[in-house]
Amino acid sequence: MYMKNLSLLLLIFSVCCFIGCKTAKKALKRGDYDESVLRAADKLRESPNASTSADVLKQAYPLALQQNLDDVARYQNTSEAFHWEPVVNAYERLNKMYDALRKCPACERLVTVRSFIPEERAAREKAAAERYEAGMVAMRNKESRQMARQAYEHFEKCDALIGNYQNVHALLDESYEYASHKVVVEQVLVTSRMYQLSNEFFQNKVNEFLQTNKRLNKFVRFYSPQEASSIKLKPDHVIKLEFDDFVVGQTLIQSNTEVVTSKDSVQVGETTVAGKKIPVYNKVTAKLTKNRKSVLSSGLLDMQIMDFRTKSVVTQEKFRGDFNWFCEWGNFNGDERALTADQKRMTNTREINPPPPQQLFIEFSKPIYDRLTSKIRDYYKNY
């Protein structure tokens, strides 16, 4: 068994090496020299004597080296904006190959591995400086939301090139304040003391959604009225939520009595024939009463999105939620054998009380929450 398992593992390893060598060779043939080098290095690290991968590496690495250095020379000498970023990308690719080959002793015996870490660092510095300067130019017109967004994009790319370049984090915050579309959400108010806890549940769910999606898209920011008041915010939009109407615990009891008859004949007694007792069969009946209690709870939520500056309604929509709780029970008089299995189960069930009003409020508000948050997400996704 051990030898059999070992043979299977060796076979799988050989197949993987073959596939890896073949893939590296394919990458070489289509001119994807970087990919060919990385795949060959992976295989040679696992199997240092893989001759096909060795041949591929010896061909691909000089070609990959030259191709990336040609990119560096071409982009360094162009006058295009942000031309240092493709230079950084080329040096990143070269250093990625360097890292992969340094982890493979067999690879270092086959090719002369070169590092471009200082060159990449210098290119990053120049690329970051270029983005930083572009962001500062855009910030001269930061009162324009479009220009502030351009500034934010430049600072974001600058930060990606070199983390916290100069004071870029502070500039990201500042440009975002000018670039963002600010929305205050005024929560639902329910004055009834009975439903206060349930209403808090709905409010908390909406707040949780807004906190989780505080930046629903890159440039939309949600605030509670308390947050907005504390920073004296003048928002772009105000979302007002209000229940137009809700009903909790509207109860309907229905009762229906019918005579049911057994599907098949059953023994109902005995009779004597020629001195012998024989069973008597007939269908039997019972009077079955079915009871159903339904408790309907529903609500209609009104959402208005208002322009804070003009006080006009930008869009308005209503969301309905329903929850219908019910229980069924029954009783009968007569022969139990007239009942079906389902009818028997019903007669063994007793009337139960519905959930408390607060829970009913929560249940009908769940679909409202789903529809409301979906609408908010869709409305602001392209802002």
Length of the chain: 383
Task: Report percent pLDDT > 90 for the chain.
Answer: 65
Q: Which residue has the tokens 């795949």?
A: 39
What is the pLDDT, as a whole number, of residue 116? 97
pLDDT at 333 over 90: yes
What is the pLDDT, as a whole number, of residue 192? 66
What is the residue-averaged pLDDT of the chain? Answer: 88
Q: Which residue has the tokens 């229980």?
A: 327
pLDDT at 372 over 60: yes
pLDDT tens column, 182-219 = 999 987 776 666 666 577 788 888 888 877 776 667 89
Question: Looking at 59-189, which runs of residues are DSSP E strands?
Answer: 181-186
pLDDT at 264 over 70: yes
CB 280 within 8 Å of CB 270:
yes
Please state the rounded mean pLDDT for residues 340-357. 91
pTM for the structure as a whole: 0.69
What is the pLDDT, as a whole number, of residue 15? 42
Task: Report percent pLDDT > 70 for the chain.
Answer: 91
The CA distances from residue 252 to 258, 320, 346, in Å, are 20, 21, 19
What is the pLDDT, as a whole number, of residue 247? 87
Record the tokens describing residue 15, joined without a space. Answer: 């197949």
288: number of Cβ within 10 Å: 21
Characterize the bridge pairing of strands 220-223 and 181-186. Answer: parallel
pLDDT tens column, 86-113 = 999 999 999 999 999 999 999 999 999 9
Record the tokens describing residue 335, joined without a space. Answer: 């022969």
Q: What is the DSSP string of 33-89?
A: HHHHHHHHHHHHHH-TT-HHHHHHHHHHHHHHHHHHHHHHHHHHT--STTTHHHHHH
CB 226 within 8 Å of CB 185:
no
pLDDT at 355 over 70: yes
What is the pLDDT, as a whole number, of residue 210? 79
**280/16: higher pLDDT:** 280
Q: Which of 19-23, 48-52, 133-137 has the highest mean pLDDT?
A: 133-137
What is the pLDDT, as a whole number, of residue 383? 83
